[in-house]
Amino acid sequence: MLEVTQLTRKYDSFIAVDQLSFTIDKGEIVGLLGHNGAGKTTIMKMISGYLEPDEGSIRVDGVDLAGDPLRVQMGLGYLPENLPVYPEMTVADYLDYAAGLKRLNEAVKTAEVKRVIAATEIEDKLLAPIATLSRGYKQRVGVAQAILGKPKLLILDEPTNGLDPEQTRHMRQLIMDIARDATVILSTHIMQEVDALCSRVLILRAGSLVVDARLEELRRTNHLLLETNMSPEHADELKSVPGVVSVNPGGVEKNGSIRQYRIELAADADDVEVRSVLADRLIKAGHALYLLKPEYRDLETLFREVNKEVFHKEDFNHAA
């Protein structure tokens, strides 16, 4: 649905985005992550048509952005970090104006404005000047304009900024509903948002794409967590299982009898097969099996590891 090929943008001698390529399919919610200055905002502005790349191409639903920008932009929704609202306008007038900018015809415009008002729950603020709204309500108005016209591609920069927990929950559900018929790019510093919404992440560093992978794959490590009543002196019984590199006692006992172990696997090991063999061996040896599952990193740890000075993708995918 979205094809980005060899995208490059420079500011004088500074390379903000460097030879970036990726594709995103319809129905995907993809997290765009990186430290400040990594190139996220520049990328979103180029995809929206606000900035032109120095090199490379962008295609949305098969249409080249450089060749037919208006056609692409009519099917695009964009919420930048700095809200695109006019403080002197009322909410109703602003949404009517935004619908006009998207060239929605009169037959569609009224229905669409009503739809986005209900979707973002801003009915009670329609006649209020935007300047009088709280940050949370302004954010919801910004999202409302972004989803006008049911865009095929929705770009959201910090969409839950300023929202309370209940509003955040509602916004997450709204984004997931939109993704049924659209492609969503989500940029945020809130890792819980990525965990809750995204199936895949693009992680940038210094303008380059260093990780493009499904979140489930990234979070998985090459370790298993085991809880059993097996004593440490019997750990060697498990080291001979094909694919097992080491078996390390966790040093923590539960209820005086349940011991925890961390099992390191070879990089090419099939963890499902290894777990099956481990479980069979434990039970046949007369040990109780309470838990045996893959170990996962949290997203904060992932992000920190990716942004270390020394980083190799192949090492990261199998890191502890």
pLDDT per residue as tens digits for the range 268-280: 899 899 999 999 9
Q: Select from 206, 236, 252 the last residue of a domain.
A: 206
pLDDT grade for 311, boundaries at 50, 70 and 90:
very low
186 in a domain, yes or no?
yes
Question: Same domain, yes or no, for 202 and 232?
Answer: no
Q: Select from 206, 230, 259 the last residue of a domain.
A: 206
Question: Same domain, yes or no, for 200 and 228?
Answer: no
What is the distance, to the nearest Å, from the Cα of residue 298 to the centroid of all Cα atoms in its chain? 13
φ, ψ for residue 155, nearest 5 deg? -115, 120
230 in a domain, yes or no?
yes
Question: Same domain, yes or no, for 196 and 270?
Answer: no
133 in a domain, yes or no?
yes
Question: Same domain, yes or no, for 235 and 287?
Answer: yes
Question: Same domain, yes or no, for 127 and 7?
Answer: yes
Question: Same domain, yes or no, for 90 and 238?
Answer: no
Q: Select from 177, 206, 235 the last residue of a domain.
A: 206
Mean pLDDT of 1-25: 93
272 in a domain, yes or no?
yes
pLDDT tens profile 128-164: 999 999 888 898 899 999 999 999 999 999 888 878 8
Question: Same domain, yes or no, for 118 and 11?
Answer: yes
Distance in angstroms (rounded) separating the CA atoms of residues 278 and 225: 12
Question: Same domain, yes or no, for 157 and 38?
Answer: yes
305 in a domain, yes or no?
no
Distance in angstroms (rounded) separating the CA atoms of residues 111 and 91: 16
Mean pLDDT of 216-225: 86
312 in a domain, yes or no?
no
Question: Same domain, yes or no, for 28 and 106?
Answer: yes
Give the number of domains in the chain. Answer: 2
The confidence score (pLDDT) of residue 144 equals 92
Question: Same domain, yes or no, for 45 and 182?
Answer: yes
Comparing 194-203, 219-228, 252-261, the range with the smallest average pLDDT is 252-261
Per the structure, the complete domain to which residue 47 belongs is given by 2-206
Indicate which CATH number applies to the domain containing 284.
3.30.70.1320
Instruction: Between 270 and 254, name the one with better pLDDT.
Output: 270
67 in a domain, yes or no?
yes
The confidence score (pLDDT) of residue 255 equals 65
The confidence score (pLDDT) of residue 254 equals 61
The average confidence (pLDDT) of the chain is 88
The 10 Å Cβ neighbour count of residue 6 is 12
The confidence score (pLDDT) of residue 123 equals 94
306 in a domain, yes or no?
no
Indicate which CATH number applies to the domain containing 8.
3.40.50.300
Cα distances from 280 to residues 82, 228, 242, 271, in angstroms, run 57, 13, 13, 14
193 close to 23: Cβ distance less than 8 angstroms: no
The confidence score (pLDDT) of residue 94 equals 95
User: Is the confidence at residue 213, as pLDDT, over 80?
Assistant: yes
Question: Same domain, yes or no, for 170 and 99?
Answer: yes
Question: Same domain, yes or no, for 148 and 265?
Answer: no
